[in-house]
Amino acid sequence: MKNSEFNAYKTEFRAIIRKVLVESEQGRLDEAGFPAYSHKNPLINWLFWQRLRVAMDHIESGAPYENVLDFGCGSGVMLPFLCGVGARVTAMDIDLLPFERVSRQRAFPANLRVHDAREVTLGDLPKASFDLIVATDVLEHVDDIAGTLNDMKSLLAPGGQMVISGPTENVLYKLGRSLAGSEYSGDYHERGILEVKDLLAEQMQVIRIATLYWPVPLFEVFAGKV
């Protein structure tokens, strides 16, 4: 994706997210990243969007895809991009309110299907059917991470991959989150992304994509392949 294309994508979603935040009850959309993606501090805002840019660039290098799964789609911020590189896209989350609020402000592509993860689980999806699974900043919230990674692995078609990102949860990350504002002060993460990476390495080949940013590693982006 060219810089101009990414900046246009970012500008559109930032405007939508800010509008949704104004119309929503305080704190309701924090865990879906709304405050981060619309943060007024340029550095904080850039860092959160840069995680997506890094993941998008890696995903785009392997496009096109037949079937894509966005696990923990949140606001749907990745979905227009994924629908552009995938013929069929499935999205799921245990809380679809953020996506529903955004979808009132902009139409999503017709090749998208969205599931409530409380009603349709990973185990309900067809095995070996996805050539790309995306899990951006969600697995740190999952309780049964080993079982979830195993379920995700079973959904990958031969040659498929999963792209994962998340916070390191180190001291510098926690300090930064507290300085960013009250929306980030909660302790709702089950683990840091390095624990997820280690567990994934027990089942799959892990491919490093990026660490954001040395010498202050706040976020990791990596892929898993069978």
Q: CA 119 to CA 61: how far, in whole Å?
A: 33
Q: CA 118 to CA 124: how far, in whole Å?
A: 11
Q: Which position has the token pair 């900043």?
A: 137
How do the domains of the chain map onto residue ranges? 3-225
Q: For the chain, report the end-to-end CA distance as a whole number of angstroms.
A: 27
What's the pLDDT score for residue 1?
84
Show Cβ contacts of residue 45 under 8 Å, excluding neighbours closer than 6 positions. Answer: 14, 36, 37, 38, 39
Superfamily in which the 3-225 domain is placed by CATH: Vaccinia Virus protein VP39 (3.40.50.150)
* CA distances from residue 57 to 6, 50, 163, 189 in whole angstroms, order as listed: 10, 10, 11, 26
Walk along the chain (226 residues) and give the pLDDT tens digit of each residue: 899 999 999 999 999 988 888 777 776 776 667 777 877 788 878 888 998 999 999 999 999 999 999 999 999 999 999 999 999 999 999 999 999 999 999 999 999 999 999 999 999 999 999 999 999 999 988 989 999 999 999 999 999 999 999 988 654 444 444 444 454 444 455 678 999 999 999 999 999 999 988 777 888 999 999 8
Please state the pTM of the whole predicted model.
0.89
